[in-house]
Amino acid sequence: MVKIRDIELGEFPLLLAPMEDVSDPPFRALCKKHGADLMYTEFISSEGLIRDAAKSVQKLDIYEYERPVGIQIFGYDIDSMRQAAEIIEKTNPDIIDINYGCPVKKVACKGAGAGILQDIPKMVRMTQEIVKATNLPVTVKTRLGWDEDTKYVVETAEKLQDIGIEAISIHGRTRKQMYKGEADWTLIGDVKNNPRMRIPVFGNGDIDSPEKALEYKNRYGIDGIMIGRASIGYPWVFNEIKHFLNTGTHLATPGIAERVQAAKDHLQMSVNWKGEVLGIAEMKRHYSNYFKGISHIKDYRMKLVTSFDLQEIMDTLTYIQENEANFEFA
């Protein structure tokens, strides 16, 4: 049984990665329904949180059905991060996660996210202050290093464990790589197999099939897998991986009608949570993933991404659902 403090996550948990503009409550609800064992919010700016910025505060929304759920923060200033952790604790998540992995320029070049990988001593000090500031379990998500010459993740993970973090998730690329090339899990395995490590170690990067999940589980010995991009528009990935790990057989993939229903549910929850205008706008990035690999759907998908009328979008989805015989998987 993998545990983060007293939170039981199962024998080989599958985690939903925190993804900006993706891992919101509507999306998390779908992933929970389809087998995610632990989920994280979109990352929240510590500066925005302590200044009570509306967008940052809204990201604190978590719901009972999501548990266990972690709230993730990022920032470059140690005092601001400590204050943010204190604010987050009052909203009662199960976990506080620190983002030391975001490679995006506007984050990393300010010394936040993966930017702190250029200053490991500061990373350790910041983590220590956050651990001291909260009674909640603190976890970390990070990368192998800043670039090919600074892959210090084995030593860094050990230092972070020794000051009190209770799990670590590692993306198998450097900051310089961004999301390009193939994720290298060798060092993730080295972290897990370091005899001094006693906390759960989760691997992240390029897991897009049940076969790969099984291969990496066996090859690297990690405690679980964090899944990001493979879940966008395909929340079924969690249960598909679990079923394959348990039985060696594949679950039936969702049909067109089931995909449409998931898109409908996602849209309705998005509108309920964000309001109609923003809820419709932010769903547009998901449609191409929900209907990936389906032929003859291009014109209908175009309607979905160009319309701002909720009823028109729902009618289009219903048409696809009721006429699924007109479409097929390419």
Which of 29, 62, 98, 102 is catalytic? The answer is 102
35-45, pLDDT tens digit by residue?
999 999 989 89
pLDDT at residue 330 is higher than 80 = no
* Pair (120, 223) in one structural domain: yes
Task: From 230, 247, 264, give the residue that closes a domain.
Answer: 247
What is the structure's pLDDT at 111?
84
Euclidean distance between CA atoms 249 and 243, whole angstroms: 7
| Catalytic residue status for 31 | no
Task: From 247, 275, 296, give the residue that closes a domain.
Answer: 247
Give the structural domain span for 33: 10-247
Euclidean distance between CA atoms 198 and 25, whole angstroms: 31
* Pair (71, 133) in one structural domain: yes
- Reported residue count of the chain is 330
Query: How far is residue 197 from each of residues 36, 158, 194, 288, measured CA to CA in Å?
Result: 25, 6, 6, 41
* Pair (163, 200) in one structural domain: yes
* Pair (221, 321) in one structural domain: no
* Pair (154, 290) in one structural domain: no
pLDDT at residue 85 is higher than 90 = yes
Q: Residue 205 has which token pair?
A: 């990067």
Q: How many domains does the chain have?
A: 2
pTM to 2 decimal places: 0.93
**What band does 192 get if pLDDT is binned at 50, 70 and 90?**
very high
Which CATH number belongs to the domain containing residue 289 in this structure? 1.10.1200
Report yes or no: 307 and 316 within 8 Å, Cβ to Cβ.
yes
Query: How far is residue 64 from each of residues 20, 69, 91, 190, 269, measured CA to CA in Å?
Result: 21, 9, 12, 36, 16
Q: What type of residue is 226? A: M
Judge whether 3 lies within some domain. Answer: no
Q: Residues with Cβ < 8 Å from 114, sequence gap 6 or more?
A: 100, 101, 102, 103, 107, 108, 142, 143, 146, 175
* Pair (232, 285) in one structural domain: no
Which CATH number belongs to the domain containing residue 204 in this structure? 3.20.20.70
* Pair (115, 147) in one structural domain: yes
Tokens 């990001």 sit on residue: 228
142-178, pLDDT tens digit by residue?
999 999 999 999 999 999 999 999 999 999 999 988 8
Judge whether 4 lies within some domain. Answer: no
**What band does 180 get if pLDDT is binned at 50, 70 and 90?**
confident
* Pair (25, 158) in one structural domain: yes
Task: From 178, 213, 247, give the residue that closes a domain.
Answer: 247
Judge whether 5 lies within some domain. Answer: no
91-107, pLDDT tens digit by residue?
999 999 999 988 888 88
